[in-house]
Structures are given as structure tokens and as C-alpha cells.
Structure 1
Amino acid sequence: MLYARDFASTCRIALVGGEPAGFVIGYRRPADPSCLFIWQVAVDERFRGLGLAGRMLDDLLHDDVVSPPVRILQTTITDDNAASQQTFRSLARRWNDAPMVVTPLFESAHLTHPSDAAHHEPERLYEIGPSM
């Protein structure tokens, strides 16, 4: 709710039959407002396969009301999240076959406290944009 309140111009919610079906949470990078960082994309399992994630992302990229226009999109994805990787590869293709560069950002040691039993996979930075 805080993201929707404070970053409404960079968040989206999908409704199907008036029911919340998914959301995208993002923000403009303070150092570069033309860069949109996507923090979370989620679609309720009942509504997967309808292209909702892609449509919400497309809507953010092509929002003519917000200035400056998005020229770079960033997100982080773990190596084991094939669905997210495919969502952003598809986005790059739809965005005029924009280049996509994947680089290391956070390694497991950055994300997992030594006392935690759970292990967090490394997060790779995905940068997409025709203006890169």
C-alpha cells in the first residue's frame, strides 16, 4: 500500500472482473529518473497465462503522462526464476528488440545472514532499454 501511495505513477494493479489479479511495484531511480526499477511483479495463480504481467509492464513503459519517458528498465532476478527471466526477455522483444544486459548485483553473501538457515540465491541485475 505504501508503494501505491508514494509511487503511484510507477506501480500498476491488474483487475479481472473487478478482482485484483496482479500488481507491479516500481520506482524511478533517484540518480536517473529516466530509469524505472521494477521491484516486484506478481500475478495470482488463478490469472496466470493471461499476459497480465507483460501488459502491466508495457503500460508503465509507455505512460506518456509521466516525465521523463522511461529509457531504461532495471530489475533483479535470481538464476532459478525462469518465469521472471522469460517475462523480461519478452518485454525486451516488445520494446523494439531492446538490448538486455545481465550483470551480477547481489551475491548470496549480501542477502543471507550467517545465522539464517535459509539460503538466498544471488540477484542478477537485468537492464533493458533501447537507449542503453
Structure 2
Amino acid sequence: MTAAQADLQTPHTELPEAPRIERPAVADGAALWRLAKDSGTLDVNSSYSYLLWCRDFAATSVVARGAGGEPVGFVTGYVRPDRPRTLLVWQVAVDAAHRGRGLAARMLDALAERVAAEHGLTSLETTITPGNTASERLFASFAARHGAGVEREVLFAGEQFPDGPHDAEVLHRIGPVAL
């Protein structure tokens, strides 16, 4: 079943409340770690790193909260120290029950708009492993929505990773963005 088919099976009157998108708090760190782990595609960092991320990079990250306030998605990122008008998006995750509804795109747009207002964002970067079609589509559609071009180049070759086989990480540089 495709995401579009799944969306069509739920009558509009029964759609759950749209998740709220806001800055993460330290208390969200464990949930972000679980979302990353449950994604099945993300490199899962230590639980400690998600706690630190929610503390130190909350201004450049977002969490989507379900009706009960629980995290159902997140985007983590940071402003590059040597390029203070560039947001690097580290990870994007959406709980399986909330996929296929455009939540990842909404979170990405909300984060980019906030960072643009606070830092004068002109470009966005992310890395995507070859074959990750969902991420490629997410960032290509972001670029299209914001009138930006996309440049791609291998940032880290697979053999550069010391912990075993790893696909190359392809840098997607999107800009200039119109926000």
C-alpha cells in the first residue's frame, strides 16, 4: 500500500489533529533516540547524543508532537560554524503511524523558516546515502518549494567510515533558498 492510498482510506472527518511543531526539550531526547532507532534507515547515535542535541541544538531542530504531546517526528540540524547562513540538516524521522501525510516536509519548512528569521539562512545542506529515495524526494521538493537549486557531491566515501561497511554520504547543497 502506498502512502497516498493509506491517506485516502481515512475519511477527512477522522483525521487526527495535525502535530504541533516546536523546539525540542531535553525531555524529548529519549523519544528522538527511539524514533531514530525505529526508523530502520537512520544511523542511530547514542542516547546521550540525542539528549545533548535537544539541549545544545534545540534552536536549530524541531520536534512534532502528537495530540498527547508525545514526539512523533523530528528534524535535527545545526548552523555550520564556517558558514553561518547555512543550515546542515542532520536527521529527519517520522513515526510510522504519521508517515505519508507530509509531516517531514512541514517540519523541514518550519525549521528553515525559523533559522532564516534568526540567522539569515541562505542555504541548506544535508547528506543522503545513495538509494534513500524518500530523503532524496523530501529535499528535492524542499528545493522546488523554495525556488532553489541543488548541487550534489560525495562528502564522505564509504571507505572513510572506520566502523565497517557504510554507504557514501552524498552532500546535497540547496540554495539560495527563498524563505
TM-score normalised by structure 1 residue count: 0.89
Number of the residue aligned with 1:32: 83
Structure 1 residue 9: deviation in Å? 1.1
Match of residue 59, structure 2, among 1, 6, 9: 9
Number of the residue aligned with 2:153: 103
5+ residue gaps, structure 2: 1-50
Count of equivalent residues: 126
Matches of 2:129 and 2:119, distance apart in 1: 29
CA contact (8 A) 2:60 2:115 kept: no
The 5 Å alignment of 1:32-111 reads 32-63=83-114, 66-96=117-147, 98-111=148-161
5+ residue gaps, structure 1: none
Which structure features the higher share of helix residues? 2
Deviation by residue 1:77-121 (Cα, 9 ceiling, x = unmatched):
00021100000001001112x1001111111101244xx3xx211
**Which amino acid in 2 is paired with 1:102?**
R
CA contact (8 A) 2:62 2:107 kept: yes
Structure 1 residue 68: deviation in Å? 2.1
TM-score normalised by structure 2 residue count: 0.66
SS in 1 for 2:121: coil
Matches of 1:72 and 1:82, distance apart in 2: 21
**Which amino acid in 1 is paired with 2:170?**
R
Matches of 2:161 and 2:172, distance apart in 1: 18
Give the structure, 1 or 2, with the largest relative contact order (CA under 8 Å, sep 6 or more): 1
Matches of 2:106 and 2:135, distance apart in 1: 14
Matches of 1:94 and 1:80, distance apart in 2: 23
> Identical aligned pairs, as a percentage?
44
The answer on 1:126 being equivalent to 2:172 is yes
